[in-house]
Structure 1
Amino acid sequence: MTQLDYKKITALAEKYKPQMTAFLRDMIRIPSESCQEKEVVLRIKEEMETVGFDRVEIDPMGNVLGYIGSGKTVIAMDAHIDTVGVGNRDNWEFDPYEGYEDEETIGGRGASDQEGGMASMVYAGKIIKDLGLENGYTLVVVGTVQEEDCDGLCWQYIIKESGLKPDFVVSTEPTDGGIYRGQRGRMEIKVEVKGISAHGSAPERGDNAIFKMGKILGELEQLHTRLTTDAFLGKGSLTVSEIFYTSPSRCAVADGCTISIDRRLTVGEDKELALQQIRDLPAAIDANAEVSMYTYDKPSYTGLVYPTDCYFPSWVLPENHPVTQASAETYRRLFDQPPHVDKWTFSTNGVSIMGLLGIPCIGFGPGKEAQAHAPNEKTWKADLVRCASFYAALPAIYLEKME
């Protein structure tokens, strides 16, 4: 294997900072909400080809995959390249798509969440090619779609349908400068209650579904306080995120009520447990409530539909796992200090990569979690450089540690 020169790697990453910045600003300028990523995918493909990836393809779902090397060990790096919307424009101090840059930062929708990770990955590929580091492994740099709508769906498709089976995956979601090795899972749960409508002047003739749901809401609030806590991932949680009703009119008894629950899952919690906890609530039993999971079945921008339950399990990569150890060693060698090892607050594609499919996943990405989905989103140029160095060095260090 080619001997790593860490100073050359970091020097090249610094050298390519202007190109990374320009590429990221180009991606930000292209609106790319979930299911509308076509144009940004084409721009990423163009950049991969320009910097010298061996092969670039777009799969039937619309994910873009760039390949370097042909070794037996397969290492994938992932950035979702869809974004959320901009919300209330009045909350932005600058155009969220034109963005801005100064000496230290780049602003715009997707800067931290999560197109910055793509910019660093592509230029890590260039560094690998420049220094001839691709011996012994195949690197697959993946820009994934629909994550903001349904995290992990893209990787369910990639692994199950395309046959790509990486030895491990690096998620480039923002990690505030640290190495992240897990996250709580989540579920999208629906609770439905039925009633009988009647004229509002004589409510005793009907059966009010909203009143029945009100009792369930109170018990859900109490259930949240009793959920499991894990020493690393923290506490499971739930919150009611939406409420809907049906009624013949404003002058009638409501004959239906439905709520959506955002359920966050810690270690030891799964979908069966979470659903049964709600079904067992006395008010849910009294109301004969129907408790189920939502299903995601929106077509990607290519038109492909790949339905999945809205269940996204928690996952934790052990601290002594070879991937965790190689990641920490990469950080120490490049930056001459120990890394901060932690976890994400939010959910990532790791829910499928490791949570559902058992492929080791580690996180290291430019930007900060707090910037995700916020107005005036930004990232830091120094993060882009640091992450490009890390991505370029990690595969060789992993192979070294596995020898």
Structure 2
Amino acid sequence: MENFAKVLEMAQAYKPEMSRFLRDLIAIPSESCGEEKVVLRIKEEMEKVGFDKVVIDPMGNILGYIGHGQHVIAMDAHIDTVGIGDRSLWEYDPYQGYEDDEIIIGRGGSDQSGGMASMVYAGKIIKELGLEDDYTLIVVGSVQEEDCDGLCWQYIVNEDKLHPEFVVITEPTDGKIYRGHRGRMEIKVTTKGISCHGSAPERGDNAIFKMAPILNELRALHENLTDHPFLGKGSLTVSEVFFTSPSRCAVADSCWISLDRRLTAGETAEFALQQIRNLPAVKAAQAEVTMYTYERPSYTNLVYPTDCYFPTWLIEEEHPLCTTLEESYQELFHETPVLDKWTFSTNGVSIMGRYGIPCIGFGPGHEDQAHAPNEKTWKKELVNAAAMYAVIPMLYTQKYAAKMPETTENLLRVD
């Protein structure tokens, strides 16, 4: 189609601008709860390329609007990053980075400032080619995802009252279309004891010793968790160990561990907690099994508490949204796309996992670059993503909006 060829040509022409914008985003440290400066830089670029409206909500998320049609469509990139880790592992400065004809290196390049750069220039392409139709496109730069994925969209749905017909998640997808991923939980297991002098441990009750058999049973539980043909197997690992004790010459009076629990289809929060409560060693120790909560303030100082439960989600291959992205890809690149899933978690845990809003993923960059030293992304993928984001709303509105289910009941939310 003529429009698709023009879009790809224009996306290619804007590669230098996208690259410069991405370098600017990388150069601004923006760890979770410290995103204010990068949000302001995004606002500047959105206004420069012609967005109709740009809003920063009370949580600090930035929302850029294109068009005024009835079909509300959103695209999301989280604009926070993790830290740089061990600086000695970086070949280049993680913020100043490196650039050549093919790649850009720097913290956040793949995870996931590249998605934001591509979305902003997709907006410019839509405006310049007159691709606006009966839709309103909202480009979202969301905060605190690395700290608490999906919290931003809990706020956007509940407080900003934004309920799009679907959301494209622009996390890195290795050039593929992603249609789901496992959920996760952050779980705490606590044992209690009685302290006494370490010279006579029999007088007390060592909480660390009580935790030991629990650790072995948790390892065995991991091996026997539920599997799913597409999403894969649930998993469980111990990520942290803590204790309290009067001194190094005393018996520990409490011990607690943190668990990273990945949830596949059919595994709910209560199901996962009860599995652990049912372990013989947990019962014998009368251990407490709870879910962590998140209450860290955003950079605007807003606190929006939530349980650390991030539901699994999966959109079926036959869904009109999946077909929209597949056809967009085929028309642009004359290839059949690969459908796959993320290994890690995204804001989809709230968008579809909590609220049943259909979502799907396509983004520049590769998963294996996320949180890694010398993180890089590829300029060709920035171009391809910008082209996809420019045509998806048009194709959806013209061809697939009428085929969308009237309710979300047939979507697999798997909770």
**TM-score, normalized by length of structure 2?**
0.96
Contact in 2 for aligned 1:322/1:401 (Cα 8 Å): no
Residue 4 of structure 1: how far off its partner (Å)? 5.8
Residue 123 of structure 1: how far off its partner (Å)? 0.1
Matches within 5 A, 1:90-129: 90-129=88-127
Following the alignment from structure 2 to structure 1, what is the Cα–Cα distance between the partners of residues 188 and 140?
32
Q: 1:366 aligns with which of 360, 364, 367?
A: 364
Q: Residue 369 of structure 2 aligns to which amino acid in structure 1?
A: Q
**Offset from partner CA, 1:58-101 (integer Å, 9 cap, x none):** 00000000000011101100000000000000110010000110
Q: 2:189 aligns with which of 184, 188, 191?
A: 191
Residue 7 of structure 1: how far off its partner (Å)? 1.1
Q: Residue 387 of structure 1 aligns to which amino acid in structure 2?
A: A
Contact in 1 for aligned 2:133/2:397 (Cα 8 Å): no
Following the alignment from structure 2 to structure 1, what is the Cα–Cα distance between the partners of residues 387 and 212?
54
Contact in 2 for aligned 1:75/1:169 (Cα 8 Å): yes
Residue of structure 2 equivalent to 1:339: 337
Matches within 5 A, 1:84-233: 84-233=82-231
Q: Which runs of 5+ in 1 are unaligned?
A: none
Matched, 1:395 2:386: no
Q: Residue 204 of structure 1 aligns to which amino acid in structure 2?
A: E
Residue of structure 2 equivalent to 1:59: 57
Residue 353 of structure 1: how far off its partner (Å)? 0.2
Matches within 5 A, 1:72-83: 72-83=70-81
Residue 400 of structure 1: how far off its partner (Å)? 2.3
**Structure 2 SS opposite 1:241:** strand
Contact in 1 for aligned 2:102/2:380 (Cα 8 Å): yes
Runs of 4+ residues deviating >3 angstroms:
none
**Structure 1 SS opposite 2:323:** helix
**Structure 2 SS opposite 1:238:** strand
Q: Residue 25 of structure 1 aligns to which amino acid in structure 2?
A: R
Contact in 2 for aligned 1:197/1:248 (Cα 8 Å): yes
Matches within 5 A, 1:180-329: 180-329=178-327
Q: Residue 397 of structure 2 aligns to which amino acid in structure 1?
A: L
**Offset from partner CA, 1:18-69 (integer Å, 9 cap, x none):** 0000000000000000000000000000000000000001000000000000
Residue of structure 1 equivalent to 2:375: 377
Following the alignment from structure 1 to structure 2, what is the Cα–Cα distance between the partners of residues 161 and 26?
30
Contact in 2 for aligned 1:4/1:393 (Cα 8 Å): no
Percent identical among aligned pairs is: 70
Q: Which runs of 5+ in 2 are unaligned?
A: 403-415
**Offset from partner CA, 1:101-142 (integer Å, 9 cap, x none):** 011000000000000000000000000000111111000000
Residue 206 of structure 1: how far off its partner (Å)? 0.5
Q: Residue 56 of structure 1 aligns to which amino acid in structure 2?
A: V
**Structure 1 SS opposite 2:352:** helix
Contact in 1 for aligned 2:236/2:262 (Cα 8 Å): yes
**TM-score, normalized by length of structure 1?**
0.99
